Amino acid sequence: MAGIGTKITVDLGDEALCKAVKIIAIERGLSIRQVVVEALRDWLEKCEDEEDIAAYREVKGEPSRPFREFLAELEQEESELSDQNSPQNSTGDISTASSHSRASQ
């Protein structure tokens, strides 16, 4: 939505706050819009951080295990799946099935 403005009207309810914001914005060479946008983005980021902290607190007491142990388990499962999915040529089943299908044609 670049280029499309969304306007809001805010009653700060505190003239001293409004004056302080205007003074600091002028000192920093910023518009009130820039100050408000930055403040809202910072607030949203803080909310996201608070959600992350809450999620961490939920799992903090759960049992854990070393990362290397977890990786070893994944490698073992991957190896087992590879063994299950690989064709078995040792009994000749695949080649026998091919020759039977050719003979019946």
**pTM for the whole thing?**
0.51
For the stretch 44-98, pLDDT in tens is: 999 999 999 999 999 998 888 899 999 999 999 999 998 888 776 455 555 444 4
Q: Can you give the residue ranges of every domain in the chain? A: 15-83
Choose among 4, 8, 16, 11: nearest CA to 37: 8
